[in-house]
Amino acid sequence: MLAVGSYTAATGGRGPGIALVDRDPATGRLGAVGAVADCPSPSFLAVGEGGVVHAAHEVDEGFVSSRRPGAGGWELLGEAPSGGSSPCHLTVLPGFLVVANYGGGVGVVELAGGAVSQLRQTLRGTGSGPDPDRQESSHPHSTRRFGDHLAVLDLGTDEIRVHATTSGGLSAEPLRTVALAPGTGPRHAVTVGDRFFVAAELDATVTSFAVHGDDLLDPVVASATAVPADRRVYPSEIAVAPWGLVVANRRAEVVTVHEVVDGIARPVRDLEIGGVNPRHVAVVGRHLYVSAQDSDRVVHLALDDDLTVVDRSVAEIGSPACVVPL
């Protein structure tokens, strides 16, 4: 089973809210679209304790919610303010949900019984970057935990701010701020062993950082997110896969497979998704599930050992923004 978040009419989308989609565990193929939670623009989902699905509702007065899927549909467990506008990413920590608000600010929401209960903390960033359209101010786009620390990726300021995780949430001030090249636009990140990989939306790179204990060291190297390297793309999601990493690249409408050698990510193959605007990709074994936002579909690609697409299937959902396995 998959949960799919979408952009709804509240923000000009065509989506239904949060939808369950059948997935054949043997073949990976997508089946029927099932129960739907009617809610405004749940553009990012994260699965927490007990299979609870947390959603970031990307609206002006941002909020988060927790729901449990069941035979009778979706049970709403709680809602809370996100600490800013246009929340776009969630990270689940023990007892807390960390929310990146693209409109500004990182919110720390307390979890009670596995569901959101109240906003406990809001952290604000300052600064700007050279892109007048996307970097006029701070725009936290995601967070990623490593060790006992949490990295805040700020697309607007070309920074990664590292906070300590505490019993009350996060340290009020960053322990360290890593400055990236102007115009980088860091968006999402993953960790693989002792490496921290950042997909940057504005300069279309994947940067590898070395991690020593709880310290995020200076970047090792940046490489292109797609093949060929000079192809203009806008990366969205980065995910760990059996082959190394995959990056969803918009405008080119591909998911690019990266191999990781000596801690460096190198693009090796672009996979055409058969849809427009791949905003998110989830990996289950050798199966990729891609939200083709502007084609109103979730696309499934099954790959073999040679990275050849050997099967495809589709689930029709309006303006899909995020896919998570349940």
Judged against a pLDDT cut of 80, whether residue 28 lies above it is answered with yes
Model confidence over 11-22: pLDDT tens digits? 999 999 999 999
User: For the residues 291-302, what does the mean pLDDT come to?
Assistant: 99
Q: Which among 321, 287, 296 has a CA at the least distance from the CA of 24?
A: 287
Q: Is 274 left (phi over 0), alpha (psi -120 to 50) or beta?
A: left
Bond preceding residue 228 cis, omega within 30 of 0: yes
CATH number at residue 252: 2.130.10.10
Gap between the Cα atoms of 222 and 220, Å rounded? 7
Q: Is 219 among the domain residues?
A: yes
Three-class secondary structure of residue 288 per DSSP: strand
Q: Summarize the confidence of residues 206-218 as an average pLDDT.
A: 82
Residue 212 has pLDDT above 90, yes or no: no
What's residue 8's pLDDT? 99
Q: Which amino acid does the sequence have at 281? A: V
Residue 167 belongs to some domain of the structure: yes
Is residue 214 scored above 80 in pLDDT?
no
Domain annotation covers residue 4: no
pLDDT band at 167 (very low <50, low <70, confident <90, very high): very high
Residue 234 lies in a domain: yes
Q: Based on C-alpha coordinates, what's the Rg of the chain?
A: 18
Residue 63 located in a structural domain: no
pLDDT at 321 over 80: yes
* 3-class SS of residue 107: strand
- 246 contacts: CB under 8 Å, gap ≥ 6: 238, 239, 255, 256, 257, 258, 281, 283, 288
pLDDT at residue number 222: 74
- For residue range 58-113, list pLDDT tens digits in order: 999 999 999 999 988 999 999 999 999 999 999 999 999 999 999 999 999 999 99
pLDDT at 71: 84
pTM score above 0.85: yes
What pLDDT digit, counting tens, does each position of 242-254 carry? 999 999 999 999 9
Q: Which phi and psi (to 5°) does residue 49 adopt?
A: -60, 135
Q: CA 54, CA 111: separation in Å to the nearest integer?
A: 10
Number of structural domains in the chain: 1
The reported pLDDT for the residue numbered 191 is 94
Length of the chain as a residue count? 326
If you average pLDDT over residues 121-132, what whole number do you get? 97
Contacts of 306 (CB under 8 A, 6+ apart): none
Asked if pLDDT for residue 226 goes beyond 80, the answer is no
pLDDT at 207 over 90: yes
Classify residue 43: in a domain, yes or no: no
Distant-in-sequence, close-in-space partners of 15: CB < 8 Å, separation ≥ 6: 5, 6, 7, 8, 41, 317, 318, 319, 320, 321
DSSP-derived letter for residue 52 is P
Structure tokens at 184: 């980088």
Confidence of residue 240 (pLDDT cuts 50, 70, 90): very high
- The order of strands in the sheet holding 106-112 is 87-93, 96-101, 106-112, 115-123
Alpha carbons 247 and 235: distance in angstroms, whole number? 7
Copy the structure tokens of residue 189. 């990140």
Task: Over range 284-309, report the average pLDDT.
Answer: 98
Domain enclosing residue 245, as ranges? 126-272
User: Would you state the pLDDT for residue 216?
Assistant: 76
pLDDT score recorded for residue 199: 97
Q: Which two tokens stand for residue 240?
A: 């760990």
Of the candidate ranges 18-32, 153-167, 217-231, 288-302, the one whose mean pLDDT is the lowest = 217-231
Handedness of CA 303, 308, 309, 311 (dihedral sign): negative
Structure tokens at 324: 């998570």
Whether 66 is covered by a domain: the verdict is: no
pLDDT of residue 65: 99
Q: How far apart are CA 90 and CA 37, in angstroms?
A: 18
Residue 206 lies in a domain: yes
Which of these ranges, 136-140, 153-157, 159-163, 215-219, has the smallest mean pLDDT?
215-219
Question: CA torsion sign, 250 to 290 to 162 to 267?
Answer: negative
Q: What percent of the chain has pLDDT over 70?
A: 99
pLDDT surpasses 80 at 137? yes
Band (231; pLDDT cuts 50, 70, 90)? confident
DSSP H/E element including 150: strand 149-154
One-letter amino acid for residue 84 of the chain: G
Both tokens of residue 296? 């109103």
